[in-house]
Amino acid sequence: MKEIRKKELDKFMEIEGETKGVVFQTDAKYVLKKEGEEGLKKLEKRIKELGYPIDYRKGEALDLHPVGLRVISLLLIKDTFGWQDAELRRMGYVAPGNSFIVKLLMRFFFTQEIH
């Protein structure tokens, strides 16, 4: 595990823009699936030690967060678990299946009729 310093991560907080809280929820679901409860606790502890306000468990899907937190989340997930870029891409591929917004839209646009 490469040591990531807070000073390096703080640069990402200067990026302009916002992201929805749902991205952190989908990250948490993937980490739980791959690393279990202990893995998510390890990630949460590390993020809290570095002083970033990412709440994987209690955040609201539609809350807005600085986009820099998204970058920080992905970097810390990768670093904490020693994942390669390919694993982060897999996490992105399964995210729509976990997304609250996608599920809501699917219910709205597609109805299942059973005869």
Average pLDDT per consecutive 10 residues, the chain (115 residues; last block may be shorter): 77 93 90 95 93 86 90 94 93 71 64 55
> Residue 93 has what pLDDT?
82
Q: What share of the chain is helix, strand, coil (3-state, %, to 5)?
A: 65, 5, 30
> Residue 114 has what pLDDT?
54
Distance separating alpha carbons of residues 19 and 108, to the nearest angstrom = 23
Domain assignment present for 10: no
Domain assignment present for 85: yes
- Coil, helix or strand for 64? strand
Domain assignment present for 101: yes
Domain assignment present for 83: yes
> Residue 105 has what pLDDT?
64
Domain assignment present for 4: no
Domain assignment present for 2: no
> Residue 1 has what pLDDT?
47
Q: Which domain holds residue 62?
A: 16-109
Domain assignment present for 45: yes
In total, how many domains does the chain have? 1
Domain assignment present for 115: no
> Residue 53 has what pLDDT?
82
